A and B are shown apart, each in its own frame.
Chain A
Amino acid sequence: MIVLLAILSVFINPEFYKIALTVATPLMFASLGGVFSETTGVVNIALEGIILMGSFTSVVFTYLTGNVWFGVLMAVVSGIILALLHAWGSIKWSGNQIVLGTAITLLAQGLTGFLMEPIFGQPGQTDFVGKIDEITIPGLVEIPFIGQVLGEISPFVYIAFGCVAFGWWLIYKTKLGLRMRAVGENPEAADTLGINVYAIRYFGVIMSGVFASLAGAYLSVGEIGQFKELMSGGRGFIGLAAMIVGNWNPVGAMLASLFFGFFGAFSNQLQSLQEIQVAANVKSLFDTIPFILTIVVVAGVVGRSRGPAADGVPYEKHD
């Protein structure tokens, strides 16, 4: 009974919803990145590595210049570079996209680990370098409950929602979006109409790098102000799961991210409840809740959601 009441108390606490949003934010960026890449027909599991590189780069440049937003900008540049590498390998050379994505993720892990010592003089994690402050929205913050959730929060949360709206508009309301969807579904048909399949795919993959690197920047300078090794922690893959659950639609992927964020926050809050008496070494089991959930949801949803027909299939022109 006490345990149930304690759990209930989690849900009526506005702080819980705020945490859910902050957990969901990097997933929203990552899943949106996945949507952009896969809509044009390129599977990008390098997202995980791009996120990590984004976290690292933003901390490095914040450390060097003292300007956190410059750090974010450089994170985006690093994301574009890694995405270009993936695009080049998978579009130009028709490489296996899973192998390439894995290689890029391992590359990012190795590179960030290796560069810790020369730049920061210590392995593992950096010191605090600077952090983007939460913004206070006048008016909104006064409203009870909602104000406590949304009134004072990281600007990245709003940027994420803005990116989702932008992504939805671009994919479903512009001619570029129509071409992206056509290229991911039937590249040969698009080609016969004079659409440059390669250019559209490069665009999709590069945009995935932009969004994934923002997820990374948020994790480091957006949230804690420092870099820790392997801090991306599988968010690239959960982002891809959210993309699938959201049926490759930016809004669907956002809703799925919020769903995962909600349970992420829930497991997080459970661990800090005094009423739940478990050994400390068991508590980390709670961290697996989002992953178990991912397996259950994806297994349940995957049969019904359908991705672009040419997703993951390299396009090779004849002649």
Chain B
Amino acid sequence: MNETASQVRHEYAVEMLEITKKFPGVLANDRVTIRIKNGEIHAIVGENGAGKSTLMNQLYGLYHPDSGEIKIFGEKKTFVGPRDAIKAGIGMVHQHFMLVNTLTATENVVLGNEPVKGLNFDLKHSRQVVKELSERYGLYIDIDAKIEDMPVGMQQRVEIIKTLYRGAQIIILDEPTAVLTPQEVEELFVIMRNLQKDGKTILFISHKLNEVMEISEKITVMRGGKVTAELITKDTNEREIARAMVGRDVVLKLDKAPHKPKDVVFEVKDLQVRDNRRLEVVNGVSLTVRRGEVVGIAGVAGNGQTEFIEAITGLRKVERGHIIFQGKDVTSAHPRLLREMGMTHIAEDRFKYALIKPFPAYYNVLLGRHYKPPFAKGAFLDHKEIKRYTAELMEEFDVRPRIIEHLGGNFSGGNQQKLVVGREIKANPKFMVVAQPTRGLDVGAIEFIHRQVLRMREQDVGILLISMELEEIFSLSDRILVMYEGKIMGEVRPEETTIEEVGLMMAGKKLEEIRGGKL
């Protein structure tokens, strides 16, 4: 459909040839070659650490290849910085948005390339240009709103407009769907198709195979810094992509043994919690968790989950409502009391709550139980016992490398999480709060941790799972609750619902409204 454009231009929009990039101790890209046709939507998939982002950062001029060649529309280029890449027609929407929160959408779009009128910055003209771009591609935004007041989906549209404003012909979208609801993902795909119609070339970085199958025409798979497969989307399937990503067959669906839940172990009644800005971010949440049951809370990040988790684990003050654990009211109880009673917590942010990077493994697995026997004898630590226990835990949970002196921060993400999971499980919990347990982990580690969660369920531990990953929620939970703006939108069973229905709840629709017609 863009024959004129592609005839004028070179056949390939992007050619990265034999790119090698080393970081201290890591070969991030090992003679990687990819060619992207003009006007195509090309997916690049791979696990964390496969080298996708490194490759893209080199294309955008943020990193410089140690060796290899980059050609844009057939012309050899050397990018000193992003400015050169932008000049060559490349735009990038980073996974973590590169937006200035206190500036407006318009100011963010024109930043670095501002229209001026005399000595002054020309806001009027800027607004007009941004409005035109927004309307032309169906990228709806509030051009005068500050970024910090916008929902994430809109922030992402601002990022896309930013690249268009700079005349991008090639747009890199780095994990763009990670922060979106299923419906927002569909909207993004519509926008991507609009951009393609207009002759843009799109590089779509993702590890979600269903999305890649839906939107792309070609797929490049990376593993360990190398390209392991180049596939044409319509001739392949998810299993083939997954195998190229992981290097072996992967279990895409876990078998969850049927298990009958027992009595209620944990209960929350009409909970209200404020965040640090004193806003009510959890507003009237009630739920129960029974022994031997996984209750999943789905939702887009930032809908009160963090504060909810902090409140039930004793880290944040409760404004109103009650938390009942094993029949005892533990509202705003001290975290140590909760632990003593048998509640453990796999925290959503390892580095903020769960792990101390400069501590060796044997201190990290001790945290939370450091004050009592067998690890403490009076005021002193029993290092011999601690080290023996650490070795045992690392064996049991397959933490590598099996070096008890290895520092927390020096383990890979998956192994850090295994340390944390091991610590929390070996404390013999009756109830576990499991938050984002697999964020940023590769497929192998995800599988391991999911199995551990299900093992605890079979041992009659009550589990509250909070996750942004819908697949995780669906494959582990016995019941699914959806949280939106601090409220529960509805409760469903995974076998009786669909991704679409949960997605609508994540976007703020109540279950009764969705099923209104059917019931």
Q: Which residue of B lies closest to A170 (CB)?
A: B119
Q: Does B302 contact A (CB under 8 A)?
A: no
Which of chain B's residues have a CB closer than 8 A to the CB of A182? 100, 103, 111
CB distance B103 to A181 under 8 Å?
Answer: yes
Q: Which A residues are CB-close (under 8 A) to B111?
A: 178-179, 182, 189-190, 193, 195
- Given known contacts A178-B107, A318-B62, is B119 in contact with A194 (CB within 8 Å)? no
Let me know if A173 and B82 touch, CB within 8 A: no
User: Of residues A181, A185, A193, which shows the largest number of chain B Cβ atoms within 10 Å of its Cβ?
Assistant: A193
Residues of B within 8 Å of A191, CB to CB, are 81-82
Q: Mark B42-71, 1 if CB is under 8 A from A, else 0.
A: 000000000000000000101110000000
Contact of A185 among B60, B101, B112 (CB under 8 A): B101
Query: Contacts A174-B119, A193-B82, A194-B83 hold; do A181 and B102 have CB atoms under 8 A apart?
Result: yes
| B94: chain A residues within 8 A (beta carbon) | 192
In whole angstroms, what is the CA distance A55 to B98 when docked?
A: 43
Identity of the chain A residue whose Cβ is nearest the Cβ of B119 in the assembled complex: A174
Q: How many residues on B have C-beta within 8 angstroms of the other chain's C-beta atoms?
A: 28
On whether the beta carbons of B107 and A193 are closer than 8 Å, the reply is no
Is A269 interfacial (CB 8 A cutoff)? Answer: no
Nearest to B107 among chain A residues (CB) is A178
B175 on the A face (CB < 8 A): no
Which of chain A's residues has its CB closest to B97's CB? A189
For A181, A186, A318, the residue with the greatest tally of chain B CB atoms inside 10 Å of its CB is A186
Q: At the interface, is chain B mostly helix, strand, loop or mixed?
A: loop
Give the residues from 156 to 214 in chain A that come closer than 8 angstroms, CB to CB, to chain B. Answer: 173-175, 177-179, 181-182, 185-186, 188-195
Partner of B100, one of A173, A177, A186, A194: A186
B103 touches A175 (CB 8 A): no
Q: Interface residues of A, CB < 8 Å — how many?
A: 22
Q: In the complex the two chains form, is A192's CB within 8 Å of B98's CB?
A: yes
A178 touches B103 (CB 8 A): yes
Contacts of B101 in A (CB 8 A): 185-186, 309
Which residue among B98, B100, B103 has the maximum number of chain A CB atoms within 10 Å of its CB?
Answer: B100
B64 touches A194 (CB 8 A): no
Which A residues are CB-close (under 8 A) to B121? 173-175, 177-178
Instruction: Specify which of B82, B102, B103, B119 is in contact with A192 (CB 8 Å cutoff).
Output: B82
- Choose one: B63, B99, B108, B112; the contact of A194 (CB below 8 Å): B112
| Chain A hits for B319, CB < 8 A | none
Shortest Cβ distance from A303 into chain B, in angstroms?
10
Which B residues are CB-close (under 8 A) to A185?
100-103
B82 touches A189 (CB 8 A): no
B231 smallest CB distance to A (angstroms): 30
Contact A186 B99 (CB under 8 A): yes
A177 CA / B99 CA spacing, docked (Å): 16
The closest CB in chain A to the CB of B58 belongs to A319
Chain A 292-319 per-residue mask, 1 if CB under 8 angstroms from chain B, else 0 = 0000000000000000110000000011
Q: Report the Cα distance A293→B370, complex, angstroms.
A: 46
Check if B7 is an interface residue, CB within 8 A of chain A: no
| Distance between B441 CB and nearest chain A CB, rounded to angstroms | 23
Are B100 and A190 touching (Cβ within 8 A)? yes
User: How long is the Cα–Cα vector from A308 to B113 in the complex, in angstroms?
Assistant: 22
Residues of B at the A interface (CB closer than 8 Å) are 60, 62-64, 81-83, 86, 92, 94, 97-103, 107-108, 111-114, 116, 119-121, 162
Extra 12 A-B pairs, beta carbons < 8 Å, given A182-B100, A189-B99, A189-B111:
A179-B112, A181-B103, A186-B99, A189-B100, A189-B108, A190-B111, A191-B81, A192-B60, A193-B111, A193-B113, A194-B82, A194-B86
